[in-house]
Every structure is written in C-alpha cells, then in structure tokens.
Amino acid sequence: MNNAQKDKAFIWHPFTQTEGLKILPVIKHGKGALLYDENGKEYIDAISSWWVNIHGHANPYIAKKIALQAKKLEQVIFAGFTHQPAIELAERLVQKLPEGFSKIFFSDNGSTSVEVGIKMAIQYWHNLGKPKTKIIALTNAYHGDTFGAMAVGERGLFNRPFESLFFDVEFIDPTKPDEAKLKFEALAATNQIAAFIYEPLIQGSGGMIFYESQLLNELISISNYHSIICIADEVMTGFYRTGKFLASNHLQLSPDIVCLSKGLTGGFLPMGITTCKGFIFDAFTSTDKFKTFFHGHSYTANPLSCSAALASLDIIEKPNFDMLIKGIEQQHLKFLYLLKKLPQIENPRVLGTILAFEVKNEQNSSYFNNIRDLLYNKFIENGILLRPLGNTVYIMPPYIITKKQLKKVYNIILEVLSNL
C-alpha cells in the first residue's frame, strides 16, 4: 500500500464522514503559505490549516527555538515544578491582556481552554458559598468538543448524541440585538447565572457570523452589574485575527476570563491558555484544600510548546508586523467590492484578516448545505485549501501570505463560482 492507502486503512480523521471518502492528499512539506503533497502538487493554505499557522508553515525562527529548547528540557510535570519558558510566556501574555488580568492557566488545546474557563466560573461561585451553575451562551456558537464546551455550543449541530447529558444553558441570538438584550436582562435579573460565554464579534464554526460590538458591550455591562462572569472564547479570534491582539480589544468593556489557543504557538505545537482577572483567582486561594482548582493535563505548560509560543510572540512584536495584518485586510476589502457585484453571493463581509460570504443555492444556509463538498473539491483541484462551512466560504490566511498568492485565491474563487 502507498501512504494514501495506508491512511485510509488505519486513520480516523476529525470532522470527516468516511463513507465515500476519496484518497486524501499526503502532505510532505510546507513553506510559508504553501503546502506540497508527495506528488509535488502545490496548495495555498488560505485557512492557516484550521486557523493555527499564523506565520505560515515551517517558520525557521520558531523551529530553531523549539530545537534549542528540546536539547535542554522537553517536558516536566507542572504540578510541583515550574520552568523558565512557562514563566516568561505567562509574564509576556499578561502584559498584552486587558487591565486586571493577572493569572495564566495552561492546558492542551482550544476545547480544554474553554473547559477550564467554564470550570473556573462555576467553581468561583461554589468557593464563595453561592452556588450558581446556569450559563448564557449564543445561538450558533461553537466552543469545542469536550463536554462542557459542547454544552455551551449550538445544540444539534455537532453534539446531538450527547444533548441529554449537558448542563443547563440559556441561548440568545446575537443577530437579533433587541430581542437578545431583553432576554439577557431577564435572565440576569434572576440572580441564577454563573457565566456568560461568547466568541467576541465573530462566531467561527457556526458560519463566520458577524455581530455588533454595541450589543456585546451592553451584554457585558449587564453582566458586570449582576456579577456574571464573562468568558471570551478567543481561540479563533486571538493573535490579531480581527486586526487587534484580541477581538475583545475592539470593545469598551473587557471579559473576566479569556480562552486562547490556535495561533498561540504559531501552528507548531498544541497548547491552550485560560487567563483570568485577579478576583477569580482570589476565590481559589484558601487554606481549605477543597477550594483548589483540580484540573491539569500531563503536558500542561510543555516547555517545547511554551518555546514555540514565545517565538511566535517575538515575531508578532517585531516593528511593522501590523502592516501584514492591514495589508491582508486592504486586499480583502478590494475583493469584497467585487463579491458584492456577484448575484450568487450573499452577505460578503470582512473583519481584519477574515473574509466570508455565503453562496446561494436552493438549500438554507447551514453547515450541512450540500454545496460544501462541491466547492471544497473544486478549490483543492485548483491548488487552494479552503474549507467551506456548508455554503459559507471564508478566507483566513497566514499573515505572511504574499499579495500574489492571495490574489490567486481570489481568482480561483471567482472562477469556481462562475462555473457553478
């Protein structure tokens, strides 16, 4: 068997229905915004490989830093020990976070960073002797695949077999601001809400849904008044995806807990971070051992992952790095002008480095819209990695993508759409 056949024989891929699955491209290496399969075919990675490779593939600086760290310390238990890369990373991240954030909790990925945030919020109230467990979330939300993260996500989309096991969550629709605010106010007034969790300004896997900052500011303000813990899931939006370090930086009010992952290590190694304001941490500081936060992973604060994250921060902090972000946004806005003229396109939109639109067809807009497979296969045939969410097409490229490469992505999209 060749590699592609062995893959089909032995591997179960995520978010993939294997019935009728074609042989998958076997990627041999990557460089910058490009991926190359074992047959030599080139692909432009226009989604940063699920939004993680913000500096492109095989960045030599990050690779070098990981290699240097691997020769010194590759792993150490993080309960009872610490190490320099974790200390430095925590210090540097806190300096970039909104005022009041003081503690960094390490985990393994985006789902676990959200899981940790939910557990922090619920145990916060437990430790204060005021147990609250109900959470408010947004419709069409996706926060991950672990049970807590699934529970605060849109019901029935990715989690139908498990719904009966979820805890109590109230959902509001951010695309209907007046209705959402009224429902939120009524729920907050019950004094039973432990936390409000949200993807700030843009909901990713739910369909790249944009919503207004004014609404989110108002909901955070209501939460502050009623002492509801606000959890910002910045797993996708963090590290300049929306044009600022955090999407929360676009707002007037800040959350109490922030969840980070994806771009954190520049796409090199898994890592999640949950960071909180000091008053959250204070509720866990006690001589009562039962108030301890009993959560941890074998690879918590892995030194190699910390080194990758530190190297990624070094790149982000270079002079003129913001010009890369602005350059992508400017190109997106020019392409947006063209998209608005196409009759088969609905709701083209841009925020920072993210561009999205819906392709019209006879089905409703949905993750399960059948046009998805047609579009995906056409893009792959043309050497472009785009992974539509149903009939929602989006571009979220590495920040180092060239103007020429991004223009090619646009041209292939136009060509595919013209032949539908």
Q: Comparing C-alpha atoms, which of 310, 312, 306 is closest to residue 75? A: 306
Q: Is 138 left (phi over 0), alpha (psi -120 to 50) or beta?
A: beta
Q: Domain check: are 175 and 51 in the same one?
A: no
Rounded to 5 degrees, what are φ and ψ at 340? -65, -20
Q: Domain check: are 286 and 300 in the same one?
A: yes
Q: Domain check: are 68 and 216 in the same one?
A: yes
The residue with greater pLDDT, 361 or 376, is 376
* Whole-number pLDDT of residue 394: 98
Q: Domain check: are 254 and 120 in the same one?
A: yes
Residues paired with 349 in a beta bridge: 356
Q: Domain check: are 248 and 369 in the same one?
A: no
Q: Domain check: are 32 and 115 in the same one?
A: no
| The domain boundary residue, chosen from 272, 288, 316 | 316
- Residue ranges making up the domain that contains 336: 3-58+320-418
Residues 219-240: what's their mean pLDDT?
98
pLDDT in tens, 156-199: 878 889 999 999 999 999 999 999 999 999 999 999 999 999 99
Q: Domain check: are 267 and 402 in the same one?
A: no
| The domain boundary residue, chosen from 316, 338, 370 | 316
Q: Domain check: are 132 and 264 in the same one?
A: yes
Q: Domain check: are 128 and 253 in the same one?
A: yes
Flag whether pLDDT at 366 surpasses 80.
Answer: no
Q: Domain check: are 36 and 110 in the same one?
A: no
The residue with greater pLDDT, 229 or 22, is 229
* Whole-number pLDDT of residue 21: 75
pLDDT in tens, 101-124: 999 999 999 999 999 999 999 999
pLDDT in tens, 38-97: 999 999 999 999 999 999 999 999 999 999 999 999 999 999 999 999 999 999 999 999
- What is the pTM for the complete model shown? 0.97
Q: Give the DSSP letter string of 228-246.
A: PEEEEE-TTTTTTTTSSSS
* Whole-number pLDDT of residue 23: 82
pLDDT in tens, 146-168: 999 999 999 887 888 999 999 99
Flag whether pLDDT at 280 surpasses 80.
Answer: yes
| The domain boundary residue, chosen from 264, 285, 316 | 316
- Percent over 90 (pLDDT), the chain: 92
In the numeric block, which tokens belong to residue 372?
């998805």
Flag whether pLDDT at 368 surpasses 90.
Answer: no
Domain containing 288 — which CATH number? 3.40.640.10
Q: Domain check: are 109 and 214 in the same one?
A: yes
Q: Domain check: are 165 and 306 in the same one?
A: yes
pLDDT in tens, 285-300: 999 999 999 999 999 9
Domain containing 391 — which CATH number? 3.90.1150.10
- Residue 94 CA to chain centroid, in angstroms? 19
Tally of structural domains, the chain:
2
Q: For the chain, give the mean pLDDT.
A: 96
CA distances from 330 to 47, 195, 325, 391, 411 (A): 17, 37, 9, 24, 16
pLDDT range class, residue 367, cuts 50, 70, 90: confident
